[in-house]
Amino acid sequence: MKKLLLLLMILPMIGCGQNINIPDANFKAVLVKNPSINTNGDTEIQVSEAAAYTAFINCTYWGISDLTGIEYFTALADLDCSNNKLTTLDVSNNIALTYLSCNGNQLTTLDVSNNTALESLYCDNNNLTSLDVSGATRLHLLFCSDNQLTSLDVSNNLELSALGCFKNKFDCDALKKKGNDGYNFE
């Protein structure tokens, strides 16, 4: 009997059936209505459902101000959270991301240095003063125009083939150098 009681106390701690805290009602609605994510059809998203999801989350124009809960989607490949009310975005646990679009929010910083699989990043029209793409070594496309960036270091992004960085507080043209096979970066 003691072993059964101990097991019942431990099971919730290891995430079996544990619900994710998703405080933004609009973001939760996007996730719950997607049967590929909400595989059991209830009104919650479980840790196991999030961890198993590998495809695309599109939550553009939903008035979302908080993406808390996205960190549990560790196998997520693509995220489009453009045109919302986000002031912060933490994708450091989403290490499988290959595509991220967060245009048209109110972000001031974005760190994708942990997103080593990231190939495309669209973060135009925010209030970014800091953008760290140093660890995103597979990045092919980077569009970060219309922000408040004073500099941009793409020295680790050797696969970068397209860069849009205009309307910032540094000279985007000076960063780009046209080569024979598209844009080459030094």
Q: Where are the domains of the chain?
A: 49-186
Mean pLDDT over 44-73 rounds to 98
Per-residue pLDDT, 171: 87
Helices (H), 56-144: none
Specify the residue for token string 């970014």. Answer: 128
What local confidence, expressed as pLDDT, does residue 182 receive? 43
Query: Do the Cβ atoms of 169 and 149 come closer than 8 Å?
Result: yes
Q: Is the pLDDT of residue 183 over 70?
A: no
Which CATH architecture group holds 49-186? Alpha-Beta Horseshoe (3.80)
pLDDT at 176 > cutoff 80 = no
Q: How far is residue 22's CA from residue 160's CA, in Å, rounded to a whole number?
A: 34
Question: Which pLDDT score is estimated for 186?
Answer: 41
If we measure between CA atoms, which residue out of 127, 121, 166, 126 comes closest to residue 139? 121
Confidence (pTM): 0.86
Strand partners, 102: none
Name the residue with higher pLDDT: 64 or 5: 64
Closest by CA position to 76, among listed 95, 62, 103: 95
Query: Among 77, 37, 79, 34, which residue's Cα sits nearest to residue 58?
Result: 79
* Distance separating alpha carbons of residues 74 and 129, to the nearest angstrom: 27
Phi, psi dihedrals of residue 127, rounded to the nearest 5°: -120, 35
- What distance in Å separates the CA atoms of residue 8 and residue 31, rounded to the nearest whole number? 29
